[in-house]
């Protein structure tokens, strides 16, 4: 691998990794079984599919279509804890560099002078026949080029996200060259396994990529039914190329005949579906629900994970009174965050875990390592909050509107509690619940209210400080804008030294925490529950950016156990 100054950074060892077919042997000893249906309530159980076309830049595309559309890279699930590895694979996007494998890519490397990423595809991977859309044919480099050209030309693309790519070209039938205008420290992530980088054949686009009936990819399942507000059904691709190693033997996957992603709006109905065996896996449960399940259905198995979505109340800094940092800091001090952890979450939350997640080793700093100006934002001090409001010209407080998504039960319950704290310092809020579509649109069109309570993924160390706080970014509900901060974020992409990158990200994180465009809220723990007949699984949630598909393709159902348990 060629790198600048002949040095290899551990953080970007991926740039020179050569990843072949499934690596490592599974620690499972049971023989896989084929057949049956896997019913899953994913972490996004309340949300419909947002779009089936990646050029819409829907953040859920790799979740909604990730069983059918594949990426260049994916998580190496042989490195999962259940297989004797180190990783739980619950992070919403970021993958450890030593736990990434080629999916459609067989090998890859980064070339210097000029900067280029060379991808060599696996041979013999097929798009299945899709009547009315396309005949069966082999995946080639032209498909990768076509997919990325569409992304780069999309009017909906996130500003600057892929601007480091100048051109994508097919060198030969199986080799793709990404020509870059500069080195990007996250090139492998953004090209290889992010939300939008799925590979879609031109025939699907020509038939209408936004129509679920036309979806057709190289993945382990075909999308065969979609009922908005109810379910997405995926049927086994019998000619899928990949395998799973179990007990030293390679088995064709997927194991189950169908995977059904359920959409259920009411949390009580979701728990009932799990109790009655209508769900095999429920990926995200709040503590109260998990505690109840443990009492009523002791046979279930569980894993616990710290949410990979940070919760916060964004304050529009382009709107009075939030253009004054003293007001924003006052609202942070007015809320008793320690009490929220202890009482509201029953101690099952972390006071501080955003915008960097504790899993971002080397990039995350705990609260006790932060400067005093950050620490005081997490210390309940209503007297100082009142003084700051007086100093900023609001001795009698003020009233502002807060929008919240009705799809988020946690936030719907939490917001009245936040309101009660703020009332003690004279600040009153008007709560506006919204359906997800309208709620999301308010942010993307920059028409959101002065207050906006939301959860946003940590994603990666760089993206977390970029998408939330760079000028005019889509995921910037506070409308925070600082040209100097923007320059610092953009400079991160060119850093090849891991230690320097970590230091720079830590400094930017401290800076934005102090500026307080958000009321920083505690991050809760959640639970995943599944029935014991679900095999080759231990609570893994994502094998790429919000993508559970490769995990579900490797699960099998112990049919005999299921019957013995009365289901």
CATH of residue 449: 3.10.105.10
Q: Is the pLDDT of residue 210 over 70?
A: yes
Report the pLDDT value the prediction gives residue 465, as an integer from 0 to 100: 92
Q: Residue 351 sits in which domain range?
A: 309-524
Q: Is residue 59 domain-shared with residue 22, that is, in the same domain?
A: yes
Question: pLDDT digit string (tens) for 6-58?
Answer: 232 333 333 333 333 333 344 456 899 999 999 999 999 999 999 999 999 99
Within a domain: residue 265?
Answer: yes
Strands (E), 263-405: 281-285, 301-306, 309-315, 349-350, 398-405
Within a domain: residue 294?
Answer: no
Q: Given the DSSP bridges, would you call strands 427-434 and 281-285 parallel, antiparallel or unpaired?
A: unpaired
Within a domain: residue 402?
Answer: yes
Q: Given the DSSP bridges, would you call strands 398-405 and 451-457 parallel, antiparallel or unpaired?
A: parallel
Q: Rounded CA gap, 513 and 334, in Å?
A: 16
Q: Is residue 353 domain-shared with residue 244, that is, in the same domain?
A: no
Q: Is residue 30 domain-shared with residue 167, that is, in the same domain?
A: yes
Within a domain: residue 465?
Answer: yes
Q: What is the mean pLDDT of residues 483-492?
A: 95
Q: Rounded CA gap, 43 and 284, in Å?
A: 5
Q: Is residue 397 domain-shared with residue 268, that is, in the same domain?
A: no
Burial 118-152 (b: 16+ CB within 10 A, else e): ebbbbeebebbebeebbeeeebbbebbbbbbebbe
- The percent of residues in the chain predicted with pLDDT above 70, rounded, is 95
Q: Given the DSSP bridges, would you call strands 258-262 and 37-41 parallel, antiparallel or unpaired?
A: parallel
Both structure tokens of 125: 């991977």
Report the pLDDT value the prediction gives residue 25, as an integer from 0 to 100: 40
Q: Rounded CA gap, 477 and 346, in Å?
A: 29
Q: Rounded CA gap, 383 and 389, in Å?
A: 10
Q: Is residue 228 domain-shared with residue 349, that is, in the same domain?
A: no
Q: How many helices (H) and strands (E) does the chain have?
A: 17, 25
Within a domain: residue 21?
Answer: yes
Instruction: State the number of CA atoms in the 13 A half-sphere of 427 facing the CB.
Output: 28
Q: Is residue 253 domain-shared with residue 380, that is, in the same domain?
A: no
Question: pLDDT digit string (tens) for 103-159?
Answer: 999 999 999 999 999 999 999 999 999 999 999 999 999 999 999 999 999 999 988
Question: pLDDT digit string (tens) for 236-269?
Answer: 999 999 999 999 999 999 999 999 999 999 999 9
Within a domain: residue 157?
Answer: yes
Number of structural domains in the chain: 2
Q: Is residue 281 domain-shared with residue 185, that is, in the same domain?
A: yes
In this structure, are residues 217 and 528 in contact, taking their beta carbons and an 8 Å threshold? Answer: no
Q: Is residue 539 domain-shared with residue 506, that is, in the same domain?
A: no
Report the pLDDT value the prediction gives residue 29, as an integer from 0 to 100: 66
Round the average pLDDT of the chain to a whole number and report it. 93
- What is the side-by-side order of every strand in the sheet holding 105-111? 105-111, 116-121, 175-180, 165-172
Q: Is residue 36 domain-shared with residue 145, that is, in the same domain?
A: yes
Q: Rounded CA gap, 419 and 404, in Å?
A: 13
Question: pLDDT digit string (tens) for 325-382?
Answer: 999 999 999 999 999 999 999 999 999 999 999 988 889 999 999 999 999 999 999 9
Q: Residue written as tokens 């700093």?
A: 365
Q: Rounded CA gap, 242 and 253, in Å?
A: 6
CATH number for the domain that contains residue 238:
3.40.190.10
Both structure tokens of 540: 């893994």
- The percent of residues in the chain predicted with pLDDT above 90, rounded, is 88
Q: What is the mean pLDDT of residues 489-517?
A: 95
Within a domain: residue 471?
Answer: yes
């Amino acid at each position: 691998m060629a790198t600048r100054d002949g040095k290899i950074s551990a953080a970007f060892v991926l740039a020179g990794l050569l990843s072949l077919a499934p690596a490592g042997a599974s620690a499972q000893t049971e023989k896989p079984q084929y057949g049956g249906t896997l019913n899953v309530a994913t972490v996004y159980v309340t949300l419909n599919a947002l779009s089936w076309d990646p050029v819409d830049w829907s953040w859920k595309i790799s979740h909604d279509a990730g069983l059918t559309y594949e990426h260049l890279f994916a998580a190496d699930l042989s490195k999962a804890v259940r297989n004797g590895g180190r990783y739980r694979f619950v992070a919403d996007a970021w993958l450890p560099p030593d736990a990434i494998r080629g999916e459609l890519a067989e090998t890859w490397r980064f070339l210097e002078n000029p900067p280029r990423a060379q991808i060599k595809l696996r041979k013999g991977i097929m798009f299945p026949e899709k009547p009315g859309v396309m005949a069966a044919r082999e995946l080639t480099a032209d498909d990768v080029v076509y997919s990325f050209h569409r992304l780069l030309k999309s009017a909906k693309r996130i500003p600057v996200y892929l601007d480091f790519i100048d051109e994508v070209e097919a060198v030969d039938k199986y080799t793709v060259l990404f020509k870059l205008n500069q080195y990007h420290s996250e090139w492998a992530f953004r090209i290889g396994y992010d939300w939008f980088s799925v590979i879609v054949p031109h025939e699907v686009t020509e038939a209408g990529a936004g129509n679920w009936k036309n979806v057709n990819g190289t993945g382990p399942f075909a999308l065969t039914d979609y009922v908005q507000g109810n379910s997405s059904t995926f049927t086994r691709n019998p000619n899928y190329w990949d395998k799973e190693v179990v007990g030293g033997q390679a088995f064709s996957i997927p194991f189950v005949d169908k995977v059904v992603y359920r959409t259920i709006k009411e949390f009580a109905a979701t728990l009932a579906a799990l109790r009655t065996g209508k769900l095999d896996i429920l990926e995200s449960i709040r503590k109260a629900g998990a505690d109840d399940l443990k009492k009523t259905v002791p046979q279930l198995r569980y894993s616990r994970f710290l949410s990979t979505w940070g919760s916060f109340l964004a304050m529009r800094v382009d709107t009075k009174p939030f253009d004054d940092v003293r007001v924003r800091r006052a609202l942070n001090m007015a809320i008793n965050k320690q009490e929220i952890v202890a009482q509201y979450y029953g101690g099952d939350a972390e006071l501080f875990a955003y915008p960097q997640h504790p899993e971002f080793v080397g990039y995350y700093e705990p609260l006790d390592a932060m400067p005093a100006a950050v620490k005081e934002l997490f210390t309940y001090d209503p007297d100082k909050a009142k003084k700051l409001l007086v100093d900023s010209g609001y001795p009698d407080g003020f009233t502002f509107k807060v929008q919240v998504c009705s799809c988020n039960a946690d936030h719907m319950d939490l917001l009245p509690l936040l309101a009660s704290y703020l009332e003690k310092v004279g600040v009153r809020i008007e709560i506006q619940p919204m359906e997800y579509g309208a709620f999301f649109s308010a942010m993307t069109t920059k028409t959101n209210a002065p207050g906006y309570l939301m959860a946003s993924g940590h994603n990666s160390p760089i993206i977390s400080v970029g998408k939330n706080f760079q000028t005019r970014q889509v995921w910037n509900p506070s409308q925070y804008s600082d040209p100097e901060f923007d320059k610092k974020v953009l400079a991160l992409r060119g850093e090849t030294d891991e230690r320097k990158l970590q230091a720079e990200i830590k400094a930017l994180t401290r800076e934005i925490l102090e500026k307080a465009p958000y009321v920083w809220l505690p991050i809760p723990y959640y639970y995943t529950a599944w029935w014991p007949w679900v095999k080759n699984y231990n609570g893994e949630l994502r094998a790429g950016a919000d993508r559970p598909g490769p995990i579900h393709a490797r699960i099998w159902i112990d049919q005999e156990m299921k019957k013995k348990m009365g289901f």
